[in-house]
Every structure is written in C-alpha cells, then in structure tokens.
A and B are shown apart, each in its own frame.
Chain A
Amino acid sequence: MALATLGVAFFILPLLGLLLRAPWKDAARSLTEPDTLQALKLSLVASLSATGIALVLGVPMAWIYARVEFPGRALLRALTTLPMVLPPVVGGIALLLAFGRRGLFGSWLDSTFGITLPFTTAGVVMAETFVAMPFLILTVEAGLRSMDRRYEEAARTLGASRWRVFTRVTLPLIAPSLFAGAVLCWARALGEFGATITFAGNFPGITQTMPLAVYLLLETNQEASFILSLLLLLISLLVLIGLRHRWLGTA
C-alpha cells in the first residue's frame, strides 16, 4: 500500500509541479510568440506527415506480418519494430549513417538527385516516422490478428476481390485499431526528441519542433518553456482520453 502510494506520488508530483509553477498569466503571450508558433506549426506538420507515411507504409506491413507466413518473418518483424526499444539518439545516428550526405544511401541520393535529407524538415519527418511507425505497425497487426477472419471469407463468397475485401471489410473492421495505432504513432512523433536532434538538428523554422524548442527555452526563457510543456501535456491528455477505451478499460 505504502509502496503503491509512493509510486502514484512519483507520477502525480511532476504533473502538479508543472501545473502549479506554470506562469499562467503569460501563457497567452508565450504561446503567440512567433518562435513558439513556428515550432508548434512545424511539430504539427512533421508529426502529421510522419503519421500519414506510417499509415501508408505501416498498414501493409502489419497486414503482411499478420497474414503472410514466410521464413524470417519473426526476424523482419523484430528489426522493423526495433526503434520502439532503441534509444532514439541511436536511431538518429543510424539514420545519419544511412541517409546522411556521406551515408550508405544518402551519398547516392545526393550525387544522383541532389537530394539531402539530414538537417531538413524532411529529415524531421523521417526521424519521427522511424521512431513512431512501429507503434502503428504493432497496434494494427494486433487488430488484424484479433479480428474475425470469417467476415473476409463471407466477402469472398460474395465475389469480392482481395483488394475489395481489404478496403471494404478488413479496414472498417479494424478501424478502432487503426485509429489507436495512428494516435499512438502521432503522439510518439510529436514528442520525438533524440532522433530528430541527431539526424535533423535544431534549426528554428526548419527542424526545431516543440520538444526541441522546450529544451532550448529552458536555458533562455524558462517561463515559455513551462508553457510549451503544459501544451504538450494537454495534447498527451487528449490522446489518453481518445484512447480511453483501450487503456483505461472503460468499455
């Protein structure tokens, strides 16, 4: 009992600290400062783009992991969900070594197309996708595994092609998992720090997302940093409320 109380306090006290010490009076001003707005906008654009890419690439991956048996599936699945447990900064370095100007693939991109990814907004999106997509893959895969596949069979007896079965039956039936996966992925992308700063740097307006801005402001303008933290906390709360059926067990 005492230990549980201690544990609860450990989580509640920091939240209280943030809520009580935040300079509420200056909130409006801090939030409307151009730098803040810029970071907020970049964060939203990058995290939503990352979520979009994760949906486009991650759903087919989840489908293959859930439905197709092939040798090495477990290994492939482990490798592609590794970023969930990998320290993000390591992910950032790995991205640099692959897509950096002198990287394995990046040098070819640069010399052939003149495309450079690191230290650009595209780099931010890549870093966020790298770290956040596994959450979507695993959630959607779990949804695909737990759905009643007989609905797909029913659709096939009605003459539906594979694609039609997938888009008209499978996707609607796993919509809750799809939604949960996308929200988790988006939240993870929004909070991304380590991989982003390593791979994309910290340039205001180009690669400086909210978490990066918060960290930087801590040195120069603590108050603003608190307000931005509060904003991120609010977003997290909204995510939690959005997923309450899944996590808080209020079915």
Chain B
Amino acid sequence: MSLDAAVRLSLGVLDLDMGLAIEEGEVVALLGPNGAGKTTLLRAVAGLIALRGGHVRLDGTTLEDVATGEYIPTERRPIGVVFQDYLLFPHLSAVDNVAFGLRSRGMGKRTAGEKAVQWLDRVGLRSYARSKPAELSGGQRQRVALARALAPDPHLLLLDEPLAALDATTRAEVRRDLKRHLGSFPGLRLVVTHDPLEAAALADRLVVMENGRLVQTGTASEVTERPRSQYVADLVGVNLLKGQADHGFVRMPGGPVVAATGAESGDVFAVIHPRAVALYRSRPDGSPRNVWPGRASGIEFIGDRVRVRIDGEVGVVAEVTPAAIKELNLGEGGEVWLSFKATDVGVYPV
C-alpha cells in the first residue's frame, strides 16, 4: 500500500504545488502554519477539490490524473476522512453515524448496525450508541468520527487537525487514545496539524509545508535537529541563519561572517541554540569569535528561563536566566553584546 500524490491547484491566494508520498504502514504528519494549504491538500487527495495539475495514486490505482483525464469521485475513493470539527451528522445517533458509510457501500441495515456497534465498542463508546452528537463531549465526538471513518475499511485515513477542537485538558488523553487507534489501523495514515508536539507524538514522519510548497520531510528528530525553514526553526525554538560556507565560516547575505567549526563550502543553514548565546553589557574579551552588538527588542519570561530577541547585524534569540537579565540590567530596547562559540553553530547544506 502506498500513496503517491502530486497536487497542483490554486484556491484564492493559495497556490498549491507539492508532492506527497506515504509508504506502507506509515503515519505521516502534515505540518505547517495556518494558510499553508494543509487542509486543501487533504481535500484534494480525497477528491473534494479538483486538481489543476498532477495526480493521485493509491496502491497503484489512479484516482485522478489531470494528464489522462482520469477522475474517480470522492464517494468511490477508498479514503476515510476525520474532519476538523468532525462533522458528525447531527440528526443521526452515534451508531447511525458510524453505520452511514457501511450502508452507503451497500451493507444491509442489520449487519451495518452490528458492525457499527462493534466499532463503537472498539473506541470505548458502546453505551453511547443511541446518543446524538450534541449529547457527546468533544473527545467522544472525535472517537465517533474516527470510528465512522474507519468502519468502511479505507486504505487511507486522513485526519484534519483531529485534536484542534478539544480543550487542553482532554487533548493529551485523546491524543494517547488516537495514537493507539492509529496504531491498530493497518492502512496509510495522514494527520494534518499545526502543532509540532502533536505531529511528533502521532507520526513516524513529518512533512512540513509552507505557502503551498513542501519545505522539509523527515522524522521528528531529523526535522528538529536540522530545520530548513524559519517556520520550523521557530517551532523548534532555535536560531536559523542561511549563508555561504567558506572553510570554518558562514558568510551571510549583507556582510556578517559567522565563525562555524563545521562549515566547508556551498549554501548552508547554520543553527544556533538560544542557550548557546551569551549576553554581555560591554564587549566581552576572550575566546569567542562570534561577538556582535545589538538591541534587545523582546524579552519574554518562560518559566525559569528568559528569551531575549536581539536585533542587530546578526539577529538571534538568546535564552538566559532571570538572574542574568537582572545582572545585565537589560530592558526592552537596551543595548547588549551577544556571543556564541564557533563550535555551537550547527552547519548543514541547504
């Protein structure tokens, strides 16, 4: 089983053009900021939006191919969808919601009802079979939606922000359940999310997209260790610079040169952890070669750490202790010197 999709389409200001592949047994998280086109991509795979170019192939079967004009409508694609706000049919009970797909595919009323009850049992909601969606909690609705999508036995399961509609207290628990249910489903799974924690928790592989384009793909640790866009760097909370490597240095556009032990040649990303950035009131002496003056443009207290955004020739975020801030007597807009070691700069090719 595998999904091979190349999706090109325009929708309003969004210009979507990216490929997406899911291999046998894989759980893939599609991660990106709001407006990146994640939901649109999901809808295109499901056949709810026509492609302008590209194709969607599932298990070698062409569901859509603009070049050949092939198009299989949504209702005949073996794809299950869990929508963002679940879209349980409000006039049907939980069991009738779950049975809906089975009935649509021609199963008899009694058999469909029995199977639907089994599915509700699997998600722990057997006793809620007769409840209407309005009588269920957010987490329960999510499980009914999951059972409804899985009941017709799809080859591919698409989940659009499955936890976004839940409040923070139930989210962790529902996420754990969801991971378990995803684990027991043998088909391909794609989870759309804007939450990196959710992506890392649920998926084997992350696909990061921005502005309708693929930015990066890899396991959660690969993506967090080597972010390839400002968006991912911000999610992970590290400083990302881009420049040209030149044997121990990275030349950035506009002049500044950062000493970086691993730099050799070619276009590279340089990543610096905020904790590796030290702050001083005046120009520090000693070994660090990367020393820059700047101005503190944002100071944010997070627990026992303080994140200080520094604007200057090299703009980075530093993470220091509240005591250090006090000692520096640093306020917003205050002048400050920053430094980091060449050995603390991670360099990898673009």
Contact = CB atoms under 8 A, between A and B. Distances in A.
Interface stretch (A12-20, A34-42, A98-106, A154-162): A154-162
A155 B100 contact: yes
B75 A156 contact: yes
A24 interface: no
Report, as a range, how many residues of chain B touch the other chain. 20 to 34
Interface string B225-243: 0000000000000000000
A158 B104 contact: yes
Contacts of A156: 48, 73-75
Contact of B100 (A148, A153, A160): A160
Contact of B104 (A150, A153, A160, A175): A160
Contacts of A173: 89-91
Given A160-B100, A164-B104, A154 B91 contact: no
B75 A151 contact: no
B86 to A, nearest CB: 9
A96 to B, nearest CB: 44
B161 to A, nearest CB: 14
Chain B contact residues: helix, strand, loop or mixed: mixed
Contact of B80 (A150, A151, A153, A157): A157
A151 B83 CA distance: 10
Nearest to B76: A159
A130 B73 CA distance: 38
A172 interface: yes
Interface in B35-52: 43, 46, 48
A73 interface: no
B163 to A, nearest CB: 18
A153 B48 contact: yes
Contacts of B149: 157-158
A168 interface: yes
A84 interface: no
A164 B79 CA distance: 18
B144 interface: no
Interface string B83-95: 1000101110000
A169 interface: yes
Nearest to B86: A154
Contacts of A168: 100
A174 to B, nearest CB: 11
Chain A contact residues: helix, strand, loop or mixed: helix
A168 B148 CA distance: 16
A160 B43 CA distance: 17
B180 interface: no
B48 A158 contact: no
A159 B87 contact: no
Contacts of A154: 81, 83, 87, 89
Interface string A86-110: 0000000000000000000000000
Given A151-B87, A164-B104, A172-B91, A157 B81 contact: yes
Contacts of B130: none
Nearest to A159: B104
B283 interface: no
B262 interface: no
Interface in A117-175: 148, 150-151, 153-161, 164, 168-169, 172-173, 175
25 contacts: A148-B87, A150-B83, A151-B87, A153-B43, A153-B48, A153-B74, A155-B100, A155-B104, A156-B48, A156-B74, A157-B74, A158-B149, A158-B152, A159-B75, A159-B76, A159-B101, A159-B152, A160-B75, A160-B100, A160-B101, A160-B104, A161-B75, A172-B91, A173-B89, A173-B91
- Report, nearest first, the 6 A-B pairs whose CB atoms are least far apart: A158-B101, A159-B104, A154-B87, A160-B104, A156-B74, A172-B91
Given A153-B43, A153-B74, A160-B75, 9 more contacts: A154-B89, A155-B89, A155-B100, A158-B100, A159-B75, A159-B152, A173-B90, A173-B91, A175-B91
